[in-house]
Chains A and B, each alone.
Chain A
Amino acid sequence: MTPLVSVTDLSVAFPTGDRTVRAVDGLSFALAPGGALGIVGESGSGKSTAAYALLGLHRGTGAQVGGSVQVAGHDVQAADEAALRRIRGGVAAMVFQDPLSSLDPYQAVGDQIAEVYRVHRPGVSRRAARERAAEVLDRVGIPDAARRARSRPHEFSGGMRQRALIAMALACEPRLLVADEPTTALDVTVQAQILGLLGELRAETGMGLILVTHDLGVAAGSVDDLLVMKDGRAVEHGPVRDVLETPREPYTRALLAAVPRVNVRRSVEPVPATDDSVLLEATGLRREFGRGRHTVTAVDDVTLTVRAGETVGVVGESGSGKTTLGRMLVRLLEPTGGELRYRGRDIRGLKERELRPFRSELQMVFQDPVSSLNPRRSIGESIADPLRAAGTLDDAAIVARVRELLERVGLDPDAYHRYPHEFSGGQRQRVGIARALAPEPKLIVCDEPVSALDVTTQAQVVRLLGELQRDLGLALVFIAHDLAVVRQVSDRLVVMQGGRIVEQGPADAVYERPEHAYTRGLLAAVPRLGTEEGTEDGTALQGASA
């Protein structure tokens, strides 16, 4: 049987200034018709670059592509422009990572799908193309598809947009679907639905699937074979069970170890805090947006306490009010109701000037380490900002303190004068943490601090936060949609749904004996590696987190 995809000695190199970066280097693999291959690796391992080569997407970008790529009998490398356009979408279709930005914001979703359909079926009328769009939207589970086809992307939720992108891929019945991190931006429950959908479509249409992801848990349940990439090369390749259960390469083992497990207890025993006084106390906290008929209650009647030195994990789906709550706790946002006490003092209604003394003690680490740092200022200046605002140190002392902070979060102190774009995602998040640490806070709210990072970097940043907490006696509020990550850091857990807390308690108790149906649903949706009962993984995990 001829393989659907056959990649031989693929290399992709990007010339940058005086040297050339080899993103993919001598990669070979094959995929049988109807088969599913997972390509996993850390960011920068070349997995997306390899996937792009399957559709010839490097053409015209200045990248140097070598080797051979055959997809369903077509030689992608040798195809001329017109032939390549027929392959793209018609033979092999791509589902991109970020469903919000991957659709044209100005056009109706159905029209975009219809346009792609008409490119590959030139004789088809507009009307028939629109009907086809509604048909595929219906197939991917968009309710009332014929009507919703006229909606624009911003009127869809994240999960629906990802479904729409999959519908676009399906429209021309391709033989191969290439999905590049299709669920990274989504909640666990939506992620489970999308992965289930991909499985169903594969069974139904017999198309092949190449799933690119940094998350081994996502790949585990969805593919037959696994290809592990590091520095542009394949380090391990085999049936998914073999790779996950008996990994040969140390790199694969490290990658597996970094995957947070939702059913493994926090491995580092929390150091009992010497001072466990209540730091922050919210009672009946409430926040509404808009007014009149358009009022939306984002957070409703939330009561929780944060003690010195402990970590409170906050989980819930998108729109459950986690971020709004987090921003209120550090008073970036004023609550519209309830009480908020910091060390016994009500800070809910304080004016900006009266809040000043509390600003340095309550800090925040943001989700997106790219957009939360000013790209035009050096990272040293960004970290120095809160120190300058406090106005108690002179310039020399500020620089000394920033260097100390950089070293504390595991960066080179000489990086003071470098700019955000020179750092990787994980390093940028370290900068964000250093900035939050600068004014010596008592409490840091971390809003999805690791969700933009790959598993290995996640594990490193989580470990850093744990160390800082132990050494500095910080209290942390850790907001995330990834339940497994939250479990690795939390003493107590708060589960939110629709702006309310549906369940809270000691983390292990909630994870092991969830009382609320919503919590049970969230936990059931977490992807599993399928080998977690093995003791080997447990020890590997402890080794990684210590």
Chain B
Amino acid sequence: MNGLAGYFLRRALGALAVVLVLSLVVYATFYIAPGDPARLACGPRCNPEQLRQVREQLSLGDPFYLQYWHFLQGLVAGHDYSTGTGVLHCTAPCFGQSYQSNQLVTDLLAERLPVTASLALGAMVLWLLLGIGTGLLSALRRGGATERVLTWLTLAGTATPVFITGLGLLMLFCVYLEWLPFPTYVPLADDPEQWAWNLALPWAALALLESAKYARLTRSSMLETLAEDHIRTFRAYGLTERAVVGRHALRGALPPVIALTAVDLGSMFGNAVLTETLFGLPGLGQLLVHATQTIDIPVVVAVVMVTGTAVVLANIVADVLYAVADRRVALR
């Protein structure tokens, strides 16, 4: 077990390094980028005196390395902000204050992350069900009516931009049929049922977009596994086709699907902007786009670090699942 603990320690340190490098690159990029955060934060009717105050308050006059150093300090030790009348304490890990709203970035993240996580994880479950199901059907019962409909559906979903699919779904289910509410985000903890009903359409839109490649991957991987010698062995020993596929072939066919899921799930955290915007969900994607436009550096850096962490974590989980599926793979 020492080996396994060591493995997770090494992976965690690696993840930390990746995320820190990411933050430095983003910080530097936005420092060099044209535009004045202070002017954007101060607003259009801002006199030079106010502008100077804002700039001082945001420490924008400090050299780059000092700003980044303060950011790191905040991450490790926390930070206190004066609000004029009192002191706002930001506990570690502190990502700073938004230039725009003076809200703590950690609060913004706490508000937005559950939305994106709900969206991404729920969509993943749906696209895996749809993709793997379609792939299995087309590997095992090629030419059936269900298989043809599902294959057509997934391909159409992939070929159509997500805001078109989403709009179509909204029109159909919310306007014409009135089966579903117009999506608003209801926290899972408040009302699980409403949470799911409200997210059903965004999930479906993303799942349709993603599932075709899972169907194709599952199909080819399954056909490859079914052609292997050990499948012939179990057929020759009287196992039913269901047992051959379920207990022997599926396990061999899944590792590539696991690997792809990890990559997709990670990128879903930063890339679900279109879906979030269309369905009016206050997620990380929306936050990132807005922060980028207003050069709200603390927010941008924080969101990038969170999505980066999601990518790295998803990959660690995928590697562990890989090793569980195939014991010949050693974790090191």
Contacts and interface: CB of A to CB of B under 8 A. Distances in A.
Interface of A: 55, 57, 84-90, 93-94, 96, 98, 101-107, 115-116, 119-120, 152, 154, 165, 168
A105 B235 contact: no
Interface of B: 228-230, 232-240, 243, 247-248, 251-252, 325-328
Contacts of A98: 229
B238 A106 contact: no
A89 B237 contact: yes
Nearest to A84: B238
Given A105-B326, A106-B327, A115-B247, A85 B240 contact: yes
29 contacts: A55-B236, A57-B232, A57-B235, A85-B239, A86-B238, A88-B235, A88-B236, A90-B238, A94-B233, A94-B237, A96-B229, A96-B232, A96-B236, A98-B229, A102-B230, A102-B232, A104-B233, A104-B252, A105-B252, A105-B328, A106-B326, A107-B248, A115-B239, A119-B239, A119-B243, A120-B238, A152-B328, A154-B328, A168-B233
**When A and B form their complex, which 7 residue pairs have the shortest distance between CB atoms, in order from nearest?**
A89-B237, A101-B229, A85-B238, A88-B238, A89-B238, A116-B237, A104-B230
Contacts of A120: 238
Contacts of A93: 236-237
A107 B249 CA distance: 11
Contacts of B240: 85
B252 A106 contact: yes
Given A101-B228, A106-B248, A119-B238, 13 more contacts: A57-B232, A57-B236, A86-B238, A88-B235, A90-B238, A96-B236, A104-B233, A105-B252, A105-B328, A115-B239, A116-B238, A120-B238, A152-B327
B328 A116 contact: no
Contacts of B234: 104, 116
B118 to A, nearest CB: 33
Given A115-B247, A152-B327, A154-B328, A103 B237 contact: no
Contacts of A165: 233
A152 B238 CA distance: 22
Given A152-B327, A152-B328, A154-B328, A105 B238 contact: no
B23 to A, nearest CB: 36
A165 B234 CA distance: 11
A325 B252 CA distance: 35
Contacts of A89: 236-238
A107 B239 CA distance: 16
A87 B232 CA distance: 15
A119 B328 contact: no
A101 B230 contact: yes
Given A96-B233, A152-B328, A104 B238 contact: no
A296 to B, nearest CB: 16
A88 B237 CA distance: 5
A102 B243 CA distance: 17
Contacts of A103: 230, 233
A123 to B, nearest CB: 16
B276 to A, nearest CB: 39
Contacts of B243: 115, 119
Contacts of B229: 96, 98, 101-102
B238 A87 contact: yes
Contacts of A105: 230, 252, 326, 328
Nearest to B325: A106
A94 B236 contact: yes
Contacts of B233: 94, 96, 102-104, 165, 168
B51 to A, nearest CB: 62
Contacts of A94: 233, 236-237
User: Which of B230, B239, B251 is the most central at the interface, judged by chain A CB atoms within 10 Å of its CB?
Assistant: B230
Contacts of A85: 238-240
A101 B232 CA distance: 10
A84 B325 CA distance: 31
A90 B230 CA distance: 18
Contacts of A96: 229, 232-233, 236
A252 to B, nearest CB: 30
Residue from the set B232, B233, B240, B326 with the largest chain A CB neighbour count within 10 Å: B233
A444 B237 CA distance: 44
A168 B232 CA distance: 14
Nearest to A86: B238
Contacts of A57: 232, 235-236
A85 B235 CA distance: 8
B329 to A, nearest CB: 10
A88 B235 CA distance: 8
Contacts of B237: 88-89, 93-94, 116, 119, 168
A120 B248 CA distance: 18
A354 to B, nearest CB: 35
A101 B252 CA distance: 13
Contacts of B247: 115
Nearest to B328: A154
A303 B195 CA distance: 75
Nearest to B239: A119
Contacts of B327: 106, 152
Nearest to B255: A106
Contacts of B230: 101-105
Nearest to B229: A101
Nearest to A151: B327
Contacts of A90: 238
Nearest to B254: A106
B229 to A, nearest CB: 4
Nearest to B236: A94
- With most chain A CB atoms within 10 A of its CB, the pick from B232, B236, B248, B251 is B236
